[in-house]
Structure 1
Amino acid sequence: MTASPLSTDKLVAELRIRAAALGFDSFGIAAAGARPDLPAKLNAALAAGWHGDMDWMAQTAERRGSPKALWPEARSIILLGVNYGPESDPLAVLGERDRGAISVYARNRDYHEIIKGKLKELAGLLSRRSGAAVKVFVDTAPVMEKPLAEAAGLGWQGKHTVLVSREFGSWLFLGAIFTAAELPPSTPHGESCGSCTRCLDICPTKAFPAPFQLDARKCLAYLNIEHQGPIPHQFRAAMGNRIYGCDDCLAVCPWNKFASVSREARLRARADLERPALADLARLDDGGFRQLFAASPIKRIGHARFLRNVLIAIGNSGDAELAGLAESRLEAESALVRGAAVWALRRLAPHRAAARRLACLAQESDNTVLLEWSADLQ
């Protein structure tokens, strides 16, 4: 659907005002076909295996690479951003080895639920004013939000592949409204990273094969959130006390100096999730885990994977007083938890681990756990 230039301009102006009132910090428009380069880039990354075991990326590659393949009626895409800038340095907790480091985005409520309602309200206004069909997406469909947001002028994809904004640095949540209406596209920003390589240099696992490329198989955020099996041995020490996500490459971006603290209180860190004690987290049972993270994205990884992460952090703590917590999980129901507990106990208290070894081996049937008892510690 195409409206007259005057009415379209008025509509976009109204949408911008309403978006700001709803709490969106960034607004831009891209044509549905603005990024014809995406299929080739996506297929190259998939061919290299950089997606790890995120098989859904390969299964949805055709729709992910082209908005029109996802929805043929799409003519324009409105990209919106919500600032989730933290109040303090998120990397400070990395020096407190008895504490857990949780990614900034997950220290409060699930942003999907916060943004989705706002997007629906704005999409409803667009539909009523234009008469055109709309669809709303918040990381719930194969949409490449970051390159589309770049096309819409919200910022540019930095060398760490995350969208960087002149106003909000690396701290923007993104949402998209697809529409059959034809709206005037925004002017894209040029890439403004210059010669800076801070985000690449700080990566604990060297997960960037080259600037603007990410191998998820080496990314700690992928490993402790998406990866369902044991954390690979070569990345465990590098994981440190990062129990959910990794903010290193985001937090060192120089453009963050222009970012303000999030206006949305539900996106600011809960006091109990800024630097939680590993000892408290290790004692959580499934019910306690669900209660603590009831409205958090952390709940989605489940209790077993969360304990896996906490036990790796305990193994990295160097605090022998935490060894008892690892030992208490040697007979956990989940093999994923048992394996991490073995590694942590062997790291912190090798004599106690040796004393438990034969009894544990006698009743263990899972090969991944059996291997933990004999694997070289890194």
Structure 2
Amino acid sequence: MDAAAQLVSRIQAWGQELSFSQIGVTGVDLSSAEPGLLAWLAQGFHGEMDYMASHGLKRARPAELIPGTLSVITARMDYLPKDTPHGWQASELARLERPDEAIVSVYARGRDYHKVLRARLQKLAEKIAEAVGPLGHRAFTDSAPVLEAELASRSGQGWRGKHTLVLNREGGSMFFLGEIYVDIALPPSEPVSEHCGACTACIGICPTQAIVAPYQLDARRCISYLTIEHAGPIPEDLRPLMANRIYGCDDCQLACPWNKFAQRSPLADFDPREGLSGATLIELFAWSEEAFLRRTEGSPIRRIGHERWLRNIAVAMGNALRAADDLAIRAALGERTSHPSDVVREHVVWALAQHCDQAPVVERPV
């Protein structure tokens, strides 16, 4: 084994010590991914995520993003809480049968993954620098124009599922991805073959049909995008399809057979915080802005702000009223009819109308 290969083995061992599930390496030539990226942007599938287009092809050109980059070290980290029970996929889907319960995506119930991964990637980079001397590097985790899934699949972390997420035979898709761009040449890891076969479970279960074709996601219809990235009013035709999902959506992953192999994280960081698993819509809708900021400190949820939080919950409350008229939910919504935000007020009015057979047309604020 030559020195570079030995270094990769050491990096993988250090990664394991830092609770990463797997470490891989790939080169910087992603030119074959550029046509697909350009086509996706041309169709407008990125919605209001203007940063996806503003960086142009730097996303597919690591050496342009960080000059001097010769290799990319990829990392994945499992995030299922350590006490996740057997049959957890069915348990999560069962939350949809309780329309007064707020559903927060599994990944967002604990500490902000950006903070967890970035700190550990930096420690890994420091270990590499100790071994090789001065090291030009930059660590990322969902924080820059990086083709994370492409880099992960090229470096053997898994294959791209039809929902566009990376799938791993031993870990499903319930993991985060991170990268370290480095200015040293390392031997690449072997990619793995895909194992989705004829399965289309993820496409069939998507509530809003956001997976418009295998391997093609229209973010503008995705509930994760609508509840997190999208500002302003949520399109009215999509609101009933959101059910009681108030932050993100896991349905395509819950339907995936490979996630029966999803691994539990040993880290307490990803254990659910009080109030973010099993809470009622009424409880969370009552949070003041101060309470929201306090309860979501260090959480990925904080980035959407109190206004979008209330907007999302109002939609879920309207959907709950459609399932069964509930005086307590109507009363809670009534408390917000004079909210200073036009967006919140509009969604509250829409929600209150849902217990009627015919919801009135609500003029959206300009």
Q: Which residue of 1 aligns with 2:72?
A: 77
Q: Is the 8 A contact 1:38 1:66 kept in 2?
A: no
Counterparts in 2 of 1:13-52, with a 5 A limit? 13-33=9-29, 35-52=30-47
- Superposition deviation, residue 199 in structure 1: 0.3
AA aligned to 2:54 is Q
Q: Is the 8 A contact 1:156 1:164 kept in 2?
A: yes
Max Rg structure: 1
Counterparts in 2 of 1:95-134, with a 5 A limit? 95-131=97-133, 132-134=135-137
Q: Is the 8 A contact 1:85 1:168 kept in 2?
A: no
- Superposition deviation, residue 369 in structure 1: 4.7
SS in 2 for 1:175: strand
Q: Which residue of 2 aligns with 1:311?
A: 314
2-structure distance, mates of 1:168, 1:270: 23
- Per the alignment, do residues 300 and 261 of structure 1 end up closer, same or farther by CA in structure 2, a change over 3 Å counting? same
Deviations, residues 326-375 of structure 1 (Å, cap 9, x unaligned)? 12111100111000100011113689x99xx9xxx9xxxxx5159xxxxx
Q: Which runs of 5+ in 1 are unaligned?
A: 362-366, 371-378
Deviations, residues 33-86 of structure 1 (Å, cap 9, x unaligned)? 1x3222211110010000001111110122112112212311110100000125
Q: Is the 8 A contact 1:338 1:369 kept in 2?
A: no
SS in 2 for 1:314: helix
Aligned mate of 2:194, from 166, 191, 194: 191
2-structure distance, mates of 1:260, 1:139: 21
Q: Is the 8 A contact 1:326 1:345 kept in 2?
A: yes
Once the two structures are overlaid, the 10-residue window that deviates more, 153-162 or 255-264, is 255-264
Counting matched residue pairs gives: 354
Q: Which residue of 1 aligns with 2:339?
A: 332
Q: Which runs of 5+ in 2 are unaligned?
A: none
**TM-score normalised by the chain length of structure 2:** 0.93
Counterparts in 2 of 1:153-164, with a 5 A limit? 153-164=156-167
Task: Report which of the two has the higher share of helix.
Answer: 1
2-structure distance, mates of 1:76, 1:213: 27
AA aligned to 1:80 is A
Counterparts in 2 of 1:342-357, with a 5 A limit? 342-348=349-355
Q: Which residue of 2 aligns with 1:56?
A: 51
2-structure distance, mates of 1:93, 1:336: 27
SS in 1 for 2:129: helix
2-structure distance, mates of 1:331, 1:283: 14
Deviations, residues 107-143 of structure 1 (Å, cap 9, x unaligned)? 0110110111110011112123223311111111100
AA aligned to 1:21 is E
Q: Is the 8 A contact 1:28 1:185 kept in 2?
A: yes
**TM-score normalised by the chain length of structure 1:** 0.90
1-structure distance, mates of 2:250, 2:187: 35
